[in-house]
């Protein structure tokens, strides 16, 4: 039987090649995402190990209660801490660094790096054993004293700086000028993942970062007979409250964990697209096998007639599938490795350069990739294979092939509705009930909905294609009539081909609806909340807006009210919350925060707090006096004097005075301002830009610019998603090509007849093309319907998180239908050409 | 009635190349009179089907000419040939003559529909009456018997009033009664409508419906009979050693 299976594969080469593309793409995404993640981890691990080779223990100032997914909040400690550490028995060497944020100004006057990778400042570590930086021969020297800076080689090269240049650097204030005296490398690397690094002498670092008398961390080398763990235990007792010691191994592990987490979105995204590609692929595989088996009915019946059992026939089909799966999965894995290389280039282009090194292809990657391909293909082939087994031997002799009966449609309706119901319930549970793993309920629900719709689709295929095909006979005569009728010939085939397209379209529609709803919600939220004319923020979130700038802005005659806001974390009573620092005196006219004037006055008078009405049980807090701890450990009691009612500003409002106690370097996250009476917004903006000139990282935007910015960011995100989902649509288009190519083989004789009695090639092509268009538009309609359902469910479920409007972008949906029709035309190119080129005589006598 | 519908001169047709080359026609010259029913007979491999295909513009000659009326087929492009088939030629094949998604009536009107033309209602009624399908015109091919399907095909071949109808073993797949009905219908078309028909067959009974029978062997015309009986044809075939 293996021989028969192999001969079947040989004769169906083209169709199987089309089928395997779906598997290849899916497997490539799976393998690619694994290779990329593994490579990134391996390279960073190697680099971290390399640059910390001489260090055994780090001491850093921090409060383990604070921080978020992207790392712990680092705070400084008194510089005397170093003296204490040096006295610990077993410390061979120790040196302090002073770290912070500094933006290097490029030759164009704009800060390098922008909102992307971090822009770091640190101090030079003289002890080579403890330093993670090296200055290679010919790259200058270490910074000594004020006015000197060293940059990492990568940043200097990309900005076009050479040793000896004067460069501008921004800390939390106006630009300062430095002379570039050296270029540093991290081990062998020129740059660390796109970050910019400015290195100063330690005193200069303290001065520039407003950290006089403070240090950020201490690198410690252990004496030969002391282990790192022992040393941590010995150092800890001499440290102040806000500092802790950690072994380098633990610190590195923490860092690579942070890197993996930061890249988690990428991995999850890639795997999600892999899953979609594989899922769409499964439809195409199943469809292809079903058609091939239908075409080989007589051959399979003959095998049965001469004594093959039903299970042998099943096995034969599954073996065919297995062979295709193995070959295309292997190709998929190889392409996946290529994909990882391409993604690396892409990451570098968006400023996230990876350290140099080999690609990491773990056995796990190959095994999972192969398994995914093989399992999906074989499972997709099982239903058609079992159908093949049910072909009666007598079919070998009979002229007319059996057609599906009405009865099966009824069963289909029941099954389809049942599966659809399961999907909807799973979606509902994931979206509206608070379960853990909600995302899985949603994903599986969506998947099940797709399967349910695809099972039901053949029931609608007849009516919908009639309606879609209705104008064709009038417009295109016989080719139009035949195109329309061909789509109705095998409703199941039409429906399952369209279903593959439905998935991609549904997801794109979902993204479009989600995006449109977010945009409407953001616009209405911003419109409701923002009374300010101008918003000033830093292009680098970490540096924020300098208070010096805010004072200067207040002094400008064109500017009316000005209010600064700071976003941070604080421990209120015993839990860490996101809090917003406000200026109670000025905020009410600029941002509609939903606070009574009385509460604002109380807050200002008593250095009190306000609680969000979104917090559970918020009423019970009012009037209480609780300890409020800032990230640097400064704790002071505060009374909760009232409530505020605005979203996305955290759980509590604190005063800006309290906020200022939490940092050595105070900077605001956002400053909002209004034009002075009688001054136009444009003039006020011009004045504010003038004030901001010495602060290159600051951006002065009008409220409508802020809104446009937000919309643009949403649009960009949507565009990326849509582009990736477009891949699913491309796979589905291949599916249409495949189905048509197979259908044409079935209809060879009929096409031959049409050509013989006078249909010209153009008419044949037109017939096939319109059939494809109907299938594609049918798929798009199914997809739009399903996508609207998904979009509605998800948007509704997020209603309490500020997503208040459900917006269907009808114009965009119409564009999708047009795109689907064009995709149909493209899908038909190859089959139409083949059909038109059929040799009439051979076609007429085709068996 | 003595006009020539098709004229074949020195027709040579070779398939394949070199050693494997098979010559199907070795210089055939023949005239097919308008308004007559001509049968082409001959053993398997005699070239009779090739001759028919070349006359119908489905295949091309290596040398020699085919004139359909005044038109020389060899000079036509694929598109012009197709349009010529559509407008001037009717076909009845051995099997699978019909488009399965179309009703019998739509199948009959198909060549006109492809050309985007309206049927001549009077002529259509006459053809329909002669073909004798009655109430089965709205049925799909799968709901018709083999004989009915072939008569639909024959009606389709006639509906454009073609210069000539080519039939390739039209009764080959039919039982003898259905076959006879089909052949009677074709005879009727020649006698009453003045239709020109050229039919390839190896069935002496079928050929006996023709006015003239041409015998082909090994790519040559070897003999011909006029108004023959089935017995005469059978005798002739025996002498050709089929």
pLDDT value of position B66: 92
pLDDT > 70? residue A5 = no
Q: Does the structure show a pLDDT above 70 at A64?
A: no
Q: Which residues of A touch B79 (CB under 8 A)?
A: 760-761
Cα-based distances in Å from A70 to A257, A261, A661, B3: 10, 8, 24, 95
Are A753 and B93 within 8 A, CB to CB?
yes
In chain B, which residues have their Cβ closer than 8 Å to the Cβ of A486? 101
Q: How far apart are CA A487 and CA A495, in angstroms?
A: 9
Chain B neighbors of A841, CB-CB under 8 A? 53, 58-59
Asked if A514 and A787 touch (Cβ cutoff 8 Å), the reply is no
CB distance A564 to A557 below 8 Å = no
Q: Name beta bridge partners: B38.
A: B198, B212
For A814, the enclosing helix (H) or strand (E) is: helix A810-837
pLDDT of residue A765: 92
Quick one: B20 exposed, middle or buried, by C-beta within 10 A (0-12, 13-18, 19+)? exposed
pLDDT computed for residue A785 by the predictor? 92
Which token pair is A719? 């565009």
> Each residue of A376-398: b (16+ CB within 10 Å) or e?
bbbebbeebbebbbebeeebbee
Phi, psi of A164, deg, nearest 5: 105, -15
Taking the mean position of all CA atoms in its chain, how far away is CA A151?
31
- What is the rounded CA–CA span in Å between residue A833 and residue A769? 10
- Among the listed residues A291, A280, A288, the one whose alpha carbon sits nearest the alpha carbon of residue A501: A280
Does A841 sit within 8 Å of B58, measured CB to CB? yes
Q: What is the pLDDT of residue A655?
A: 92
Give the C-alpha separation, A147 to A169, whole Å.
11
Query: How confident is residue A68, by pLDDT bands cut at 50, 70 and 90?
Result: very low
pLDDT at A1 over 60: no
By the CB < 8 Å criterion, does A754 face chain B?
Answer: yes
Residue-level pLDDT at A157: 86
pLDDT at A334 (0 to 100): 94
Q: Give the three-state DSSP class for A39.
A: helix
What percent of chain B is modeled with pLDDT above 90?
Answer: 14
Closest CA–CA distance from residue B59 to any residue of chain A (Å): 8
Q: Is A844 on the interface with B (CB under 8 A)?
A: yes
Q: With cut-offs at 50, 70 and 90, classify the pLDDT of residue A114.
A: low
In Å, what is the CA distance from A105 to each residue of A112, A135, A436, A694? 6, 22, 46, 11
- Residue A203: both structure tokens together: 């005193």
Q: How far apart are CA A748 and CA A758, in angstroms?
A: 16
- What are A474's strand-pairing partners? none
Residue A299, pLDDT above cutoff 80: no
User: What tens digit of pLDDT does each residue of A771-791 get?
Assistant: 999 999 999 999 999 999 888
A8 or A368, higher pLDDT = A368
Give me the total of CB pairs closer than 8 Å, taking one residue from chain A and one from chain B.
71
Which of B52, B58, B99, B145 should be substituted to probe chain A, the one whose Cβ sees the most A Cβ atoms within 10 Å? Answer: B99
CB contact under 8 A, A482 and B101: yes
* A463 pLDDT more than 70: yes
Q: Which of B78, B87, B90 sits opposite A761 (nearest CB)?
A: B78
Q: Which two tokens stand for residue A232?
A: 């941590």
Please give the average per-residue pLDDT across A199-207, as a whole number: 90
Mode of pairing for the β-strands spanning A217-222 and A57-61: antiparallel
Helices and strands (H and E) in chain B: how many: 8, 10
CA-to-CA distance for A753 and B58, rounded, in angstroms?
Answer: 11
Q: What is the pLDDT of residue B197?
A: 93
CB neighbour class for B227 (10 Å; exposed up to 12, middle 13-18, buried from 19): exposed
CA nearest neighbour of A764 among A503, A486, A448, A462: A486
Measured CA to CA in angstroms, residue A583 lies from A280, A522, A638, A691 at distances of: 54, 24, 16, 21
Of A400, A486, A758, nearest to B101 by CB-CB distance is A486
Does A14 reach chain B within 8 Å, measured CB to CB?
no
Cβ <8 Å between A758 and B59: no
* Contact indicator for A104, A119 with CB cutoff of 8 Å: yes
Q: How far apart are CA B137 and CA A255, in angstroms?
A: 80
Integer Cα distance of A252 and A254 in angstroms: 5
B53 contacts in A (CB within 8 Å)? 841
- Beta-bridge mates of residue B30: B8
- Nearest-5° Cα angle at A219, A217 to A220: 135
**Which of A218-222, A391-395, A606-610, A683-687 shows the lowest per-residue confidence on average (mean pLDDT)?**
A391-395
Mean pLDDT, range A612-625, rounded to an integer: 88
Pairwise CA distance, residues B84 & A477, whole Å: 19
Best CA proximity match to A23, nearest among A324, A365, A362, A343 = A324
Q: What is the DSSP letter of A164?
A: T
Pairing, β A534-538 against β A103-105:
unpaired
Å from B19 to nearest chain A CA? 22
Closest residue of chain B to A489, computed from CA coordinates: B101
**What is the set of domains in chain B, with CATH numbers?**
4-238 (3.40.50.300)
Nearest residue of chain B to residue A748 (CA atoms)? B96
Map tokens 């390399």 to a residue.
Answer: A50
Residue A605 near residue A687 (C-beta atoms within 8 A): no
Q: Quick one: tokens of A237?
A: 């007792």
Q: A840 touching B, CB under 8 A?
A: yes
The pLDDT of residue A72 is above 60: no
Chain A residue nearest residue B56, CA to CA: A756
Contacts of B90 in chain A (CB under 8 A): 757
In chain B, what residues touch A755 (CB-CB under 8 Å)?
82
DSSP A738-788: HHHHHHHHHTHHHHHHHHHTT--HHHHHHHHHHHHHHHHHHHHHHHHHHHH
Q: Of A787, A789, A782, A807, which Cα lies nearest the Cα of A428?
A: A789
For residue A749, the chain B residues in CB contact (below 8 A) are 96
ipTM exceeding cut-off 0.90 for this assembly: no
Residues of B in contact with A759 (CB under 8 A): 82, 86, 114
Write the pLDDT tens digit of every residue in A712-745.
888 888 887 787 778 788 888 888 888 888 888 8
Reported as half-sphere exposure (CB side, CA atoms, 13 A), residue A399 has a value of 6
Outline where A402-532 has alpha helix (H): 406-432, 438-469, 472-489, 491-529
CB contact under 8 A, B82 and A758: yes
Q: What is the percent of chain A where pLDDT is above 70?
A: 92
Q: Which of B85, B100, B101 sits opposite A757 (nearest CB)?
A: B85
Nearest C-alpha of chain B: how many angstroms from A425?
A: 41
The series of mean pLDDT values per 10 residues for chain B, 242 residues long, is: 80 83 88 91 86 88 89 87 88 82 87 84 86 83 87 89 90 86 90 91 90 90 88 84 55
The rounded distance, in Å, linking the Cα atoms of A335 and B25 is 54
Going by the DSSP 8-state scheme, the letter that residue A353 receives in this structure is P
Partner B contacted by A746 (CB < 8 A)? no
Residue with tokens 């290779």: A35
Q: How confident is the model at residue A272 (pLDDT cuts 50, 70, 90)?
A: confident
Contacts of B141 in chain A (CB under 8 A): none
Residue of B nearest to A750 (CA): B99
B79/A761 CB distance under 8 A: yes
Tell which of A399, A489, A756, A835 to mutate to test the B interface (max B CBs under 10 Å): A756
d(CA A513, CA A566): 33
**DSSP sequence for A303-329:** HHHTT--HHHHHHHHHHHHHHHHHHHH
Dist. CA B90–CA B190, nearest whole Å = 13
B→A contacts (Cβ < 8 Å), by residue, are 53, 56, 58-59, 78-79, 82-83, 85-87, 89-91, 93, 96-102, 106, 110-111, 113-116, 142, 156
The pLDDT of residue A71 is 43
Q: Quote the CA–CA distance of A227 and A237 in Å, as a whole number.
A: 17
C-alpha B63: how far from its chain's center? 22
């Amino acid at each position: 039987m293996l021989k028969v299976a192999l001969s079947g594969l040989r004769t169906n080469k083209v169709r199987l090649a089309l089928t395997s593309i779906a598997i290849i793409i899916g497997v490539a995404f799976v393998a690619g995402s694994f290779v990329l993640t593994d490579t990134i981890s391996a390279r960073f691990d190697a680099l971290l190990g390399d640059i910390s080779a001489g260090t055994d223990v780090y001491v850093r100032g921090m409060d383990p209660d604070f921080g978020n997914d992207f790392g712990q909040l680092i705070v400084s400690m008194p510089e005397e801490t170093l003296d204490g550490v040096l006295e610990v028995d077993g410390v061979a060497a120790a040196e302090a660094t002073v770290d912070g944020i500094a933006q290097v100004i490029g030759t164009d006057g704009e800060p390098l790096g922008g909102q992307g990778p971090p822009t770091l400042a640190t101090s030079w570590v003289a002890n080579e054993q403890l330093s993670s930086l090296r200055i290679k021969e010919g790259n200058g020297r270490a910074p000594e004293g004020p006015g000197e800076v060293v940059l990492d080689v990568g940043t200097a090269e990309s900005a076009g700086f050479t040793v000896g240049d004067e460069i501008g650097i921004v800390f939390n204030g106006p630009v300062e000028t430095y002379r570039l005296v050296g270029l540093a490398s991290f081990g062998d690397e020129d740059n660390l993942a796109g970050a910019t690094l400015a290195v100063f002498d330690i005193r200069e670092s303290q001065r520039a970062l407003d950290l006089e008398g403070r240090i950020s961390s201490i690198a410690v080398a252990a004496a030969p007979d002391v282990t790192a763990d022992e040393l941590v235990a010995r150092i800890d007792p001499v440290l102040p409250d806000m500092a802790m010691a950690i072994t380098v191994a633990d610190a590195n592990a923490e860092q690579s964990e942070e890197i993996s987490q930061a890249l988690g979105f990428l991995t999850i995204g890639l795997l999600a697209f892999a899953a979609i590609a594989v899922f769409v692929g499964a439809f195409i595989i199943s469809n292809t096998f079903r058609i091939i088996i239908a075409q080989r009915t007589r051959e399979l019946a003959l095998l049965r007639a001469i004594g093959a059992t039903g299970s042998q026939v099943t096995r034969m089909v599954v073996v065919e599938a297995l062979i295709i799966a193995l070959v295309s999965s292997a190709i998929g894995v190889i392409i996946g490795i290529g994909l990882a290389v391409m993604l690396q280039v892409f990451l570098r282009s968006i400023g996230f350069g990876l350290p140099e090194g080999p690609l990491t292809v773990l056995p796990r990657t190959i095994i999972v990739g192969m398994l995914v391909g093989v399992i999906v293909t074989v499972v997709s082939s099982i239903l058609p294979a079992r159908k093949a087994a049910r072909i009666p031997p007598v079919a070998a002799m009979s002229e007319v092939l059996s057609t599906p009966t009405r009865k099966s449609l009824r069963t289909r309706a029941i099954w389809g509705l049942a599966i659809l119901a399961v999907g909807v319930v799973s979606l509902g549970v994931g979206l509206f009930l608070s379960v853990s793993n909600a995302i899985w309920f949603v994903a599986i629900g969506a998947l099940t909905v797709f399967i349910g719709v695809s099972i039901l689709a053949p029931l609608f295929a007849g009516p919908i294609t009639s309606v879609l095909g209705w104008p064709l006979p009038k417009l295109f005569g016989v080719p139009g009539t035949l195109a329309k009728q061909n789509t109705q010939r095998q409703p199941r085939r039409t429906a399952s081909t369209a279903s593959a397209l439905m998935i991609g379209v549904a997801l794109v529609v979902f993204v479009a609806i989600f995006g449109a709803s977010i945009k409407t919600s953001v616009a209405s939220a911003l419109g409701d909340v923002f009374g300010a004319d101008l918003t000033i923020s830093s292009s680098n979130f970490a540096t924020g807006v300098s208070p010096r700038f805010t004072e200067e802005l207040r002094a400008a005659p064109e500017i009316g009210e000005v209010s600064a806001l700071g976003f941070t974390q604080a421990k209120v009573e015993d839990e860490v919350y996101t809090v917003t620092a406000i200026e109670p005196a000025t905020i009410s006219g600029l941002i509609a925060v939903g606070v009574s004037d009385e509460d604002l006055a109380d807050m200002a008078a008593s250095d009190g707090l306000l609680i969000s009405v979104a917090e559970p049980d918020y009423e019970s807090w009012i009037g209480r006096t609780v300890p409020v701890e800032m990230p640097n450990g400064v704790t002071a009691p505060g009374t909760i004097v009232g409530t505020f009612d605005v979203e996305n500003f955290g759980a509590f409002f604190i005063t800006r005075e309290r906020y200022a106690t939490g940092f050595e370097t105070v900077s605001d996250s956002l400053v909002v301002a209004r034009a002075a009476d009688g001054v136009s917004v444009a003039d006020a903006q011009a004045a504010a830009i003038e004030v901001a000139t010495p602060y290159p990282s600051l951006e002065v935007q009008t409220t409508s610019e802020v809104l446009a910015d937000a919309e643009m960011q949403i649009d960009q995100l949507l565009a990326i998603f849509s582009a990736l989902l477009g891949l699913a649509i491309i796979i589905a288009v291949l599916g249409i090509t495949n189905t048509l190519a197979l259908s044409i083989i079935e209809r060879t004789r009929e096409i031959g007849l049409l050509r013989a009695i006078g249909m010209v090639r153009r008419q044949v092509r037109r017939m096939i093309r319109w059939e494809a268009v109907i299938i594609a538009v049918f798929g798009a309609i199914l997809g739009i319907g399903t996508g609207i359902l998904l979009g509605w469910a998800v948007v509704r479920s997020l209603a309490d998180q500020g997503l208040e409007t459900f917006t269907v972008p009808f114009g965009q949906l119409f564009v999708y239908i047009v795109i689907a029709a064009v995709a149909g035309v493209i899908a038909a190119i190859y089959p139409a050409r083949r059909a038109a080129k059929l040799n009439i005589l051979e076609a007429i006598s085709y068996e | 009635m003595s006009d020539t519908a098709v004229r074949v001169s020195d027709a040579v047709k070779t398939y394949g190349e070199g050693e494997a080359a098979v010559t199907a026609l070795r210089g055939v010259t023949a005239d097919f009179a308008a308004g007559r029913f001509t049968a082409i007979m001959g053993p398997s491999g005699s070239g009779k089907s090739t001759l028919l295909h070349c006359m119908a513009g489905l295949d091309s000659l290596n040398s020699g000419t085919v004139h359909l009326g005044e038109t020389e087929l060899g000079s036509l492009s694929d598109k012009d040939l197709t349009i010529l088939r559509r407008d001037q030629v009717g076909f009845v094949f051995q099997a699978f003559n019909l488009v399965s998604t179309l009703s019998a009536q739509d199948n009959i009107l198909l060549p006109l529909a492809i050309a985007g033309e309206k049927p001549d209602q009077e002529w259509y009624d006459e053809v329909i009456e002669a073909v004798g399908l009655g109430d089965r015109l709205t049925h799909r091919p799968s709901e018709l018997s083999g004989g009915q399907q072939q008569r639909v095909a024959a009606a389709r071949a006639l509906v454009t009033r073609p210069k000539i109808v080519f039939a390739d073993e039209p009764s080959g797949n039919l039982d003898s009664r259905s076959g006879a009905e089909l052949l009677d219908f074709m005879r009727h078309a020649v006698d009453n409508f003045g239709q020109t028909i050229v039919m390839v067959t190896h069935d002496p009974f079928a050929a006996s419906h023709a006015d003239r029978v041409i015998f082909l062997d090994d790519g040559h015309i070897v003999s011909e009979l006029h108004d023959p009986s089935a017995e005469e044809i059978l005798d002739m075939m025996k002498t050709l050693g089929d």
